């Protein structure tokens, strides 16, 4: 999410969310901090979306809950994907305004131009923003595909024209800046699909991102050529296939479509099944197929499963688990780099250079990627002759000011992450995250002690219950010893007449935690409960 502000208002480029990493157990998604926007509520003139991926539109429902009247600009498919999400949130009267590549519109005193780019979702655009300070180009997510599956190659001629006119600043996608060369065309994947469909005898199952309509479309084309019907499973896959068909982005005739409940009525050699789960997500359809718990779909000997995606960093283990489970069931599993069943949707270094050579921006701001990717993009810029002092590698919350043709970094705005836990937005609470992590890794001990309210004397041995801590056999011995430790603690506190609950709990925690960490090198959460009698 990037806010561009000038006299006359603010436009927002994208409103994405992130998925939680392993250090955020129990968190569903991560939102940007809206406090800067709240502070400038009256200035927000429009939200402009580059494409329909979650990391660009996922925060929109949360944003519109607070800024319901702000117009949202996006292409047809982008808005088509956004609409059902808003409906899920009960947002009925969003002001969605459809644009298409090539359009120029005015939003307040900003001039906006939407420029066609190629990406792993159709209808993606870059945005050229005409401001009082000059032209600022936001690449969105892009690659240069000269033979795209649908639509035109990226509109490099517009980039060249803007470059001639003079571009003040370029905010460019850095995802693949460490990767040399060019990213191959999406068509390469279709060729592999054809080879696989040519020889496969049993079922073919293809897992991909549900938003990758081009990929899905290539599966459908291969199915047409080889006389297979198309089954669809996984909630988001079913939904996106439906949206893409309705909006005309996917040519899948009804007579080829097989509901997931009916797949077993079709001979294995006559069907291909599209599924979610390319990231090894535990609840996704492919993971359930791999685990043998999918309601209707199984995979076994003779079947071919294509993982048509690469794991997003952090998902490698889940994907690997899925591949192993499928192989144990006897299925053949195809994935990159062993087979060309996936290509990236983000420009590699030579494409980034091409764009820089056309736009010739005075300032380069690498965006979208980890810090190391931004740095590499910056180096590419230096290699292209952009002065180092004209390249700004920013972090969330950083602010740049353009004045009289010059850029400088000014004081940052609040930009913490907001974590969404079961639908409610919470401030980032490190202590809660730490506690969840401790619970999942170290387990928990509950101590229930009954004591005499007057004297603080222990009435009978305390109860100790443990969860998620070492294996049950070893646990029994530990629990017995723990009872001894707590008994000693409470006898000691009673003899020094401690009756304050807080003090008692502190003493129990300290002694028990010392004992357990010495015995097991673990530090479980210890929850002392004191019952006064």
Instruction: Tell me if residue 379 falls in helix, strand or coil.
Output: helix
497 labelled catalytic: no
Residue from 28, 43, 55, 268 that binds Zn ion (CB under 5 A)?
A: 55
The DSSP bridge partners found for residue 278 are none
Backbone angles phi, psi at 257, to 5 degrees: -85, 130
- Is 156 exposed, middle or buried (CB count within 10 Å of its CB: 0-12, 13-18, 19+)? middle
Q: Is position 345 annotated in a ligand binding site?
A: yes
- Min dist. Cβ of residue 16 to Zn ion (A): 7
Smaller CB separation from Zn ion, 125 or 299 = 125
The residue count for binding Zn ion (CB under 5 A) is 3
Q: Which stretch binds Zn ion (CB under 5 A): 51-59, 267-275, 296-304, 431-439?
A: 51-59
Helical spans, DSSP H, in 52-109: 54-57, 60-66, 76-88
Per CB under 5 A, does 18 bind Zn ion?
no
Smaller CB separation from Zn ion, 50 or 493 = 50
173 labelled catalytic: yes
- Min dist. Cβ of residue 474 to Zn ion (A): 46
Q: Is position 294 annotated in a ligand binding site?
A: no
Q: Which residue matches tokens 């309705």?
A: 246
Q: Is position 346 annotated in a ligand binding site?
A: yes
Smaller CB separation from Zn ion, 34 or 138 = 138
Q: Is position 480 annotated in a ligand binding site?
A: no
Q: Is position 141 annotated in a ligand binding site?
A: yes
Smaller CB separation from Zn ion, 53 or 214 = 53
Which residues lie below 8 Å from residue 87, measured CB to CB, with a gap of 6+? none
- Of 145, 173, 303, 511, the active-site residue reads 173
Q: Which stretch binds Zn ion (CB under 5 A): 37-45, 52-60, 243-251, 302-310?
A: 52-60
d(CA 159, CA 126): 10
For residues 363 and 159, is the Cβ–Cβ distance under 8 A?
A: no
d(CA 214, CA 225): 17
Q: Which stretch binds Zn ion (CB under 5 A): 54-62, 69-77, 401-409, 466-474?
A: 54-62
Q: Which stretch binds Zn ion (CB under 5 A): 49-57, 287-295, 324-332, 348-356?
A: 49-57
Smaller CB separation from Zn ion, 140 or 277 = 140
Start-to-end C-alpha separation, the chain: 57
- CA-nearest of 289, 332, 340, 330 to 199 is 332
Kind and range of the H or E run holding 214 = helix 213-225
Smaller CB separation from Zn ion, 36 or 138 = 138
Cis ω on the peptide bond leading into residue 337 (within 30° of 0)? yes
- Min dist. Cβ of residue 172 to Zn ion (A): 12
Tokens of 150: 């649908």
- Min dist. Cβ of residue 366 to Zn ion (A): 14
Smaller CB separation from Zn ion, 53 or 342 = 53
d(CA 143, CA 352): 9
d(CA 297, CA 280): 17
- Min dist. Cβ of residue 51 to Zn ion (A): 6
Q: Is position 421 annotated in a ligand binding site?
A: yes
Q: Is position 80 annotated in a ligand binding site?
A: no
For residues 468 and 443, is the Cβ–Cβ distance under 8 A?
A: yes
Residues in contact with Zn ion, shown as a per-residue x/- string from 117 to 156 under the rule CB under 5 A? ------------------------x---------------
d(CA 262, CA 267): 11
d(CA 521, CA 377): 44
Q: Is position 119 annotated in a ligand binding site?
A: yes
- Min dist. Cβ of residue 368 to Zn ion (A): 6
For residues 277 and 311, is the Cβ–Cβ distance under 8 A?
A: no
Residue from 13, 27, 53, 176 that binds Zn ion (CB under 5 A)?
A: 53
- Min dist. Cβ of residue 142 to Zn ion (A): 9
Which residues lie below 8 Å from residue 231, measured CB to CB, with a gap of 6+? 258, 259, 260, 262, 263, 266, 271, 272, 273, 274, 297
d(CA 181, CA 216): 26
Smaller CB separation from Zn ion, 124 or 419 = 124
Backbone angles phi, psi at 191, to 5 degrees: -65, -45
Q: Is position 28 annotated in a ligand binding site?
A: yes
For residues 362 and 390, is the Cβ–Cβ distance under 8 A?
A: yes
- Min dist. Cβ of residue 2 to Zn ion (A): 12
Q: Is position 69 annotated in a ligand binding site?
A: no
- Min dist. Cβ of residue 56 to Zn ion (A): 6
Q: Is position 211 annotated in a ligand binding site?
A: yes
Backbone angles phi, psi at 434, to 5 degrees: -60, -40
Contacts to Zn ion from residues 300-319, by CB under 5 A = none
Sheet holding 204-207, edge to edge: 257-258, 229-233, 271-275, 204-207, 304-307, 332-334
Smaller CB separation from Zn ion, 141 or 145 = 141
Q: Which stretch binds Zn ion (CB under 5 A): 45-53, 58-66, 330-338, 445-453?
A: 45-53
Tokens of 23: 């250090």
- Of 346, 373, 376, 377, the active-site residue reads 346
**Which residues make up each annotated binding site for Zn(2+)?**
53, 55-56, 119, 141, 368
Residues belonging to the binding site for Ca(2+) are 26, 28, 51, 421
Interacting residues with Zn ion (CB under 5 A):
53, 55, 141
Which positions are annotated as active-site residues? 173, 346
* Residue list, annotated binding site for substrate: 210-212, 342-346
**Residues annotated as binding site?**
26, 28, 51, 53, 55-56, 119, 141, 210-212, 342-346, 368, 421
């Amino acid at each position: 999410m990037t806010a561009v502000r000038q006299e006359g208002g603010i436009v927002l480029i994208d409103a994405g969310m992130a998925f939680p990493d392993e250090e955020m157990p129990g968190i569903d998604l991560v939102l940007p901090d809206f406090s800067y926007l709240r502070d400038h509520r009256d200035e927000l003139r429009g939200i402009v979306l580059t494409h329909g991926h979650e990391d660009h539109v996922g925060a929109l429902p949360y944003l519109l809950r607070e800024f319901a009247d702000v117009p949202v600009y996006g292409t047809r498919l982008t808005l088509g994907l956004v609409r059902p999400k808003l409906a899920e949130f009960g947002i009925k009267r969003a002001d969605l305004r459809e644009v298409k590549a090539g359009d120029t519109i005015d939003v307040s005193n900003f001039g906006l131009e939407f420029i066609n780019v190629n990406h792993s979702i159709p209808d993606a655009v870059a945005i050229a923003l005409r401001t009082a300070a000059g032209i600022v180009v936001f690449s969105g997510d892009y690659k240069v595909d000269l033979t795209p599956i649908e639509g035109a190659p990226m509109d490099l001629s517009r980039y060249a024209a803007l470059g001639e006119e003079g571009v003040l600043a370029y905010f460019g996608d850095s995802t693949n800046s460490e990767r040399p060369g060019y990213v191959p065309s999406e068509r390469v994947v279709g060729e592999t699909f054809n080879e696989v469909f040519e020889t496969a005898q049993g079922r073919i199952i293809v897992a991909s991102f549900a938003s990758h309509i081009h990929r899905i479309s290539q599966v459908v084309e291969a199915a047409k050529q080889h006389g297979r019907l198309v089954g669809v499973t996984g909630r988001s896959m079913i939904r996106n296939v439906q949206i893409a068909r309705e909006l005309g982005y996917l040519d899948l005739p009804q007579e080829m479509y097989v509901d997931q409940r009916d797949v077993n009525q079709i001979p294995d050699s006559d069907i291909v099944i599209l599924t979610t789960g390319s990231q090894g997500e535990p609840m996704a359809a492919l993971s359930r197929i791999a685990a043998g718990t999918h309601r209707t779909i199984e995979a076994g000997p003779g079947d071919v499963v294509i993982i048509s995606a690469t794991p997003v960093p952090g998902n490698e283990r889940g994907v690997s688990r899925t591949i192993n489970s499928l192989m144990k069931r006897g299925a053949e599993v195809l994935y990159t780099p062993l087979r060309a069943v996936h290509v990236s949707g983000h420009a590699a270094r030579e494409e980034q250079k091409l764009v820089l050579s056309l736009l010739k921006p005075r300032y380069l701001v690498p965006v979208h990627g980890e810090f190391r990717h931004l740095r590499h993009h910056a180096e590419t810029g230096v290699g292209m002759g952009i002065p180092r002092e004209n390249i700004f590698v920013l972090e969330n919350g950083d602010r740049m000011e353009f004045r009289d043709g010059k850029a400088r970094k000014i004081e940052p705005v609040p930009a913490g992450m907001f974590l969404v836990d079961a639908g409610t937005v919470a401030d980032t609470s490190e202590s809660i995250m730490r506690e969840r992590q401790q619970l999942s890794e170290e387990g928990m001990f509950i101590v229930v002690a009954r004591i005499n309210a007057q004297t603080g004397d222990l009435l009978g041995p305390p109860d100790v219950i443990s969860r998620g801590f070492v294996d049950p056999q070893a646990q029994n011995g530990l629990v017995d010893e723990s009872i001894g430790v707590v008994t000693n603690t409470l006898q000691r506190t009673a003899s020094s007449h401690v009756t304050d609950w807080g003090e008692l709990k502190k003493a129990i925690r300290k002694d028990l935690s010392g004992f357990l960490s010495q015995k097991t090198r673990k530090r479980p959460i210890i929850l002392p409960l004191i019952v006064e009698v």
